[in-house]
Structure 1
């Protein structure tokens, strides 16, 4: 039986890689971490698809090695089923704080864990 903790740790590792400016700036590296059926509902409310995200990610905040970087906190996860992990966490990017929820899935060991769904919600100033 696969270890649930190991699955969660692998999903967390993938999530942290997606916050790395070098990965965000590389379509090839980001594509290895996003599921082909990826969907995101961003903090702005915009719906992103796999192709749209890969096309625009290098221009997003947090994608420049010389700019502000994502600072994650309170990252935790749970295995929902074999090959399916749900993560929750917060990030700060400069002055902006955001809460996140993502689902990672493992289709096969050859391609590894990939982000299937992501939801971001901006936290207004003064909200705990």
Structure 2
């Protein structure tokens, strides 16, 4: 088993991979990073299940190689228990900001890290 810093690093690496257009476009690659019990509450307020997210991800913002990309900032993680990491950060994409929170857990014989829960909350435009 790795150290707590390693666990946070593994979760951050997975989070960043999920922002990569090549992963977002590939159901097979995204499946490796999402827990089968995955749930998301998106910035729109919609609740997404594992299958819904895998089906929609290639069409979502950030999936096109030549389109807008997620720009994460202030990403930090905390080990809640062995094999369970909570990440918080902000993203900007196409001028829209959101505060994000993810739970990552280590599963399977190989100890793969997968996103179990994700929530995005829009940040209102400053004015």
Which TM class, normalised by the smaller chain length?
over 0.9
SS in 1 for 2:103: strand
2:101 aligned with 1:97: no
Q: Which residue is equivalent to 1:33? A: 33
* Equivalent residues, number: 127
1:126 corresponds to which residue? 126
- How far is the alpha carbon of 1:94 from its aligned partner? 1.2
Gaps of 5+ in 2: none
What is the TM-score of this pair, normalised by structure 1?
0.96
Aligned residue runs from structure 1 range 3-82, under 5 A: 3-82=3-82
Q: 1:12 to 1:39 in 2, by over 3 A?
A: same
Q: SS at the partner of 1:67? A: coil
CA drift at 1:4: 0.4
Q: TM-score, normalised by structure 2?
A: 0.97
Structure 2 SS opposite 1:32: helix
Shift of 1:86: 0.1
Using the alignment, how far apart are the partners of 1:113 and 1:124 within structure 2?
32
1:25-75 deviations in Å (ceiling 9; x for gaps): 000000000000000000000000000000000000000001000000000
Greater CA drift, 58-67 or 105-114: 105-114
Q: Distance in 2 between matches of 1:2 and 1:113?
A: 12
Gaps of 5+ in 1: none
CA distance in 2, matches of 1:107, 1:63: 26
